[in-house]
Chains A and B, each alone.
Chain A
Amino acid sequence: DVVMTQSPLSLPVTLGQAASISCRSSEGLVYSDGNTYLNWFQQRPGQSPRRLIYKVSNRDSGVPDRFSGSGSGTDFTLKISRVEAEDVAIYYCMQGTHWPRTFGQGTKLEIK
């Protein structure tokens, strides 16, 4: 199975500052169709998850543009340009290329 490793696991951030989460996969995530199926999810306390980013860098509808995704191969990053209070959540990467699908351990973002 593809192992997804996130860092850091805990991320204290000052309001208005930038935040960055790394996700590394144990195998490359390029599918046979040429696409890289790496997703990012946000899970706020007490809520179901919400997808933010698909195919590495594409924002879902309604996701603020302060969220951005980048990366290739086995190294991927989620960046929040200016953290707001509503961004307090756990963030997960998930690969959609290989079966079984696998999630990272999650990164808990909190406000300093």
Chain B
Amino acid sequence: QVKLVESGGGVVQPGGSLRLSCSASGFSFRTYAMHWVRQAPGKGLDWVAATSFDGSDKFYADSVKGRFTISRDNYRNILYLHMNSLRADDTAVYYCTRLTNWEEAVYWGQGTLVAVSS
């Protein structure tokens, strides 16, 4: 079955960096676009970034552009989110998701918590 497992979250100081990973299994990872969506404590869903199936196209929310980089390793079936210049308002659970616009099922991981605090 499809599994998405995020890792790499933790506590980081303002201005610091972190790299999140999402290990995918149970489907042909290299043929799907992948996204990161976050959710601050007690708040709504906030779309962060996406990469095309081959990594050639990348898209970002304005709030993270220039600070976050999405990437993927299609040999190891891993999605990454490199986060730099972290701010307090980046504190959230970060979800990896196979988000599609079509009838194919949408899958989400369980999320990894990033807390930016001094």
Contacts and interface: CB of A to CB of B under 8 A. Distances in A.
A61 B102 CA distance: 12
A42 B75 CA distance: 32
Interface stretch (A17-25, A50-58, A72-80): A50-58
Nearest to B110: A48
Contacts of A49: 37, 45, 95, 108
**Helix, strand, loop or mixed for chain B's interface?**
loop
Indicate the size class of the contact surface on chain B: 20 to 34
Nearest to A38: B101
Interface stretch (B16-24, B56-64, B66-74, B82-90): B56-64
A104 B62 CA distance: 16
B108 A103 contact: no
Contact of B47 (A43, A50, A58, A103): A103
B44 interface: yes
Contacts of B37: 49
Nearest to A101: B47
Interface residues of A, number: 27
A23 to B, nearest CB: 13
Contacts of A99: 50, 59
A92 B105 contact: no
B50 A54 contact: no
**Helix, strand, loop or mixed for chain A's interface?**
loop
A61 B62 CA distance: 33
A49 B47 CA distance: 13
A48 B45 contact: no
Contacts of B59: 99-101
Given A39-B101, A48-B95, A96-B101, A103 B106 contact: no
Given A55-B101, A105-B44, 16 more contacts: A37-B101, A48-B95, A51-B105, A54-B100, A54-B101, A54-B102, A54-B103, A55-B102, A58-B103, A94-B45, A96-B101, A99-B50, A100-B59, A100-B61, A101-B50, A103-B47
Interface of B: 35, 37, 44-47, 50, 59-62, 95, 99-103, 105-106, 108-111
Interface of A: 1, 35, 37, 39, 41, 43, 48-51, 54-55, 58, 60-61, 90, 92, 94, 96, 99-106
